[in-house]
Amino acid sequence: MIRISKAESCLKEEELKLKPIIAFDCAEIREQDWCNVVTCHMDTKQAYVWRLQNFLIGEHVLRPCPENPTPVKACAISACGNFAVLGTTGGWIERFNLQSGISRGSYVDTPKGSAHDGESAAEGTIRETWEEAGVEVEVISPFAQLDIPLIGQTYVIFLAKLKKP
């Protein structure tokens, strides 16, 4: 049962509505366990999680980069269904645990670049990691893909391990 305080009961309907959705992702793998949908809304500095099974908004609101918040423009759920990855207009990419809503790290300081002609995204990741961090990695699998059509960019994040510690 939802309880509404006196202050909340004075709000207009428009103030309670979320802005239009500009991006979303879902994963069926954890549908029975926790929220399995994440949505980004127009000019909003946070993302919302939902339980598709019950058609309800979830208990967590995901707020990337609290020190310098900018609107969230892209979202993705990992293949395992445990994490949501959010991208902001400020270039911040952050991973959240969907079960707890807790931030599990950001990707701002990771090597980034673009693939060269004839190079796959995984090959580009290996090369860029070597060029920018000086370490050799083995790509295990894709982790998330963020498409940000507003600025014409796509980010592919891979799960990788060091070849030599």
Three-class SS of 31-57: CCCCCCEEEEECCCCCEEEEECCCCEE
pLDDT in tens, 80-133: 899 999 988 888 889 999 999 999 988 764 555 667 788 888 898 888 888 877
Determine the pLDDT at residue 9: 55
Q: Please, what are the domains in the chain?
A: 19-109+145-157 (2.130.10.10)
Determine the pLDDT at residue 20: 93
